[in-house]
Structure 1
Amino acid sequence: RLVGGVTAATHATASAYMADISPAQDRAARFGLIGAAFGAGFVLGPLMGGILGEYGTRAPFWAAAVLAAGNAALGWAVLRETLPQTQRRAFDWRRANPLGALRALGCLPEIGRLLAVYFIYHVGFAAYPAVWAYFGVERFGWSPTMIGLSLGLFGVLMALVQGALIGPVIRRLGARATVILGHVFALAAFAALTVLTSGTWALIMTPLAALAGVIPPALQGIMSARVSADAQGELHGALSSSTALAMILSPLTMTAVFAYFTAPDTALYLPGAPFLLALFLTLGGLVLFASRPPLTSQTGTSPH
């Protein structure tokens, strides 16, 4: 697990690399491509693992090792250095950790608030993977196969939203309006899941939930435009750290809420309670984001 945590830095490095090679106005859409790749992996990985698992419990891990080796070889062959020597910052141990990075980034105008919005979004969003399997059984009586199919559908739609939709939406509405619209979709999805009793309607609502996937790349684009070229890696490392922290806190909280409101002796039976909590968190993030007018970035590029 420790080695896995170290290698998780790949995602932040990829985002920083994408920021380096992309014009400011295109970054949000290209961050969406990274999210789409993650969504595609969310679908294909379990599918491949399930198939390979028929050949032994170790087979999926050998396949993952082969894929990782191929990825490393491809990166070595085709990826060039993107940050010129003149734009590199001297290494500083005080900033070479999540807390140091957050302190440094928090000194930049609006970045601290945007990081908080990003974190709050992921805490609420993590309600899906945290309780979806339990919720599907308790509320809809779904089988494991149906739960897997519903998660696969969600992954496909998220990949489509972040890979194909985010660019046109931002070009038409701007990054700020895209973040606000994404929060509206998230609120609608959480509100529906709080009260729904029909599995069919839950599947119908899946595209609405997936449309909230425009939020992370749009926020990344806004923040990336406000930090200097030598701080892109620091920014995306901090974003990865905040996502990891959300993925620690949210499952602990959401599963506890689900357990309380589905217990035999509960005062209020409400399997959708975790989604209600996610709704309030998301509403708080929206208020925090929309409470101040947009600012121009440090580099003079509008966050829109």
Structure 2
Amino acid sequence: MINMFIAMLGIGLIIPVLPKFMLEFGASGSSLGYLVAAFGLTQFLFSPIAGEFSDKYGRKRMIVAGLAAFSISQLIFAVADHMWLLFLSRLIGGMGAAFMIPSMMAYVADITTNEARGKGMGLLGAAMSLGFVIGPGIGGFLAEYGLRVPFYVSAAVAFVSTIASLLFLKETLSVEEQLAARSVGNKRENIFKQFTKSFKAVYLVPLILVFTLTFGLSNFEAIFGLYVDQKFSYTPKDISILITVGALIGVIIQSFLIDRLLRRFGEKRLINISFFFSAVTMILMLLSGNFWYVMIVTSIFFIFTSILRPAINTLLSKMAGKEQGFVAGMNNAYMSIGNIIGPSLAGILFDVQINLPYLFGAFLLLFSLFLSVSWNRRAGGGNQVKPAVQE
């Protein structure tokens, strides 16, 4: 949780200053979208590999490697004076996320029972959201001393986390389990074969929902600053307040309510409800520029997307059986595809017409609801989850 918090704090630090920072490079909406998407590209390429490696070589090694890569990427961003360096930074950062996130999810799965899995994933999600809560506020403060200062601080914080993890983080996967995973010679030679296997798995639809959720969320966030700046003339301070309030609500939901919600409604029902309201709030974003109205709408959006992530992660973890590392890696891979396509398309659509990114995002989230409901009906309904059977 501490590692996830620090990694997300580093990302949150730069959010309020990124639109202004990009103006130094003359970036358009599509350029900003591609820059965000670059992170998802390497996250996509390395996630399945990292997930498998976490099974073979342990969770700790991958988490430490991911934090180190993230620290390097933030430092490059801080000193960059050309666009290609910004893209290089994002590519390295995506690789770091690929190493960290599936290993952290598998770590939680290692130390929790099926009954406690939802709470564990919720707390991990809360740590992620808390970084976004505190990050923008600190980033806005640090930006008073220079636009690049938040990036230097982010790199330093990630470096400290790397050292702390190397010294204090305990490995949850025994040497015997690691050796057993390495001894399986016919496992997933490359990313394409891994995706082929995921297409045939019982948990394919939840993986697709990970993609559509990430697409909708990254679509919303990638051009949010530009959208409210150009359409409603919001200041960086306004943007920081909106993000902070929304993320704070997400932390409260994931820390104190997600376990109760999962027990009360079950993963599948909660996923359907959350997709519906996430889509509705995307459309409502277009109707008014009043600050308090936008705050309410964005807060509702953050509430339901904060519920969606741990709900889908819990569902996948329960279905994964003994393939926790692989499924966590594929989870991150599908998420990274959303992080590639979502921001890229959002930037392109934004340059065409300012409202198009949110209209398309709402459509995709409604499609997700239809897909989830159809899958539930084919599976016989209910919320009982059967774990995957290893071939």
Fold similarity call, TM over 0.5:
yes
**CA spacing shift, 1:59–1:147, aligned 2, 3 Å:** closer
CA distance in 1, matches of 2:96, 2:267: 30
CA distance in structure 2 between the aligned counterparts of 1:89 and 1:297, rounded to whole angstroms: 23
Match of 2:44 in 1: none
The counterpart of 1:221, out of the listed 314, 317, 324, is 314
Q: 2:158 aligns with which of 68, 71, 85?
A: 68
Mapped partners of 2:185, 2:92: distance in 1: 23
CA distance in 2 between counterparts of 1:121 and 1:275 reads 13
Is 2:329 the partner of 1:237?
yes
Counterparts of 1:92 and 1:272, CA distance in 2: 50
Greater alpha carbon shift after TM alignment, 136-145 vs 171-180: 136-145
Question: 1:198 Cα deviation (Å)?
Answer: 2.8
1:266-277 correspondence runs (5 A)? 271-277=354-360
> Hey, what's the Cα distance between the residues in 2 that align with 1:148 and 1:169?
29
C-alpha distance in structure 2 between counterparts of 1:289 and 1:97, whole Å = 29
Of the three residues 93, 96, 110, the one matched with 1:4 is 93
User: Measured at CA, do residues 5 and 121 of structure 1 come closer, stay the same or move farther in structure 2, by a change above 3 Å?
Assistant: closer
Which residue in the other structure is 1:190 paired with? Answer: 282
Aligned to 1:255: 347
- Is residue 80 of structure 1 aligned with residue 173 of structure 2? no
The Cα RMSD (Å) is: 2.5
Q: 2: CA distance between counterparts of 1:98 and 1:166? A: 33
Amino acid of the structure 2 residue aligned with 1:224:
S
180-189 or 58-67, larger mean C-alpha shift: 58-67
Q: State the Cα distance separating 1:59 from its structure 2 match.
A: 4.9
Comparing 235-244 with 279-288, which one deviates more in the overlay? 235-244
Is 1:298 matched with 2:387?
Answer: yes
Asked if residue 128 in structure 1 is aligned to residue 220 in structure 2, the reply is yes
Q: CA deviation at 1:299?
A: 6.6
Of residues 50-59 and 286-295 in structure 1, the stretch that sits farther from structure 2 once superposed is 50-59
Q: Percent identity?
A: 25
Matched, 1:278 2:361: yes
Q: Which amino acid aligns with 1:222?
A: L
2: CA distance between counterparts of 1:136 and 1:235? Answer: 37
2:200 maps to 107
- SS at 1:126's partner residue? helix
Equivalent pairs, count: 289
Are the aligned partners of 2:109 and 2:317 in contact in 1 as well (CA < 8 Å)? yes
Q: Point out where structure 1 has 5 or more consecutive residues left out of the alignment.
A: 262-270
Contact 2:246–2:299 at 8 Å: present in 1 too? yes
Give the counterpart letter for 1:219 in structure 2: I
Q: Distance in 2 between matches of 1:55 and 1:73?
A: 27
Aligned AA (1:288): L
Q: Using the TM superposition, give the Cα deviation of residue 289 of structure 1 relative to its aligned residue in structure 2, in angstroms.
A: 0.9
Change (3 A) 1:55 1:254: closer
Q: Displacement of 1:53 after TM fit?
A: 4.8
Rounded to whole Å, the distance in 1 between the matches of 2:155 and 2:232 is 37
Cα deviations by residue, 1:256-278 (Å, 9 ceiling, x for unpaired): 222222xxxxxxxxx43321111
Q: Give the aligned residue type for 1:99.
A: F
Q: Supply the distance in 2 between the matched residues of 1:55 and 1:201 (Cα, whole angstroms).
A: 32
Give how far 1:61 is off. Answer: 4.6
Tell me, yes or no, if structure 1 residue 35 matches structure 2 residue 128: no
Residue ranges of structure 2 left out of the alignment (5+ in a row): 1-88
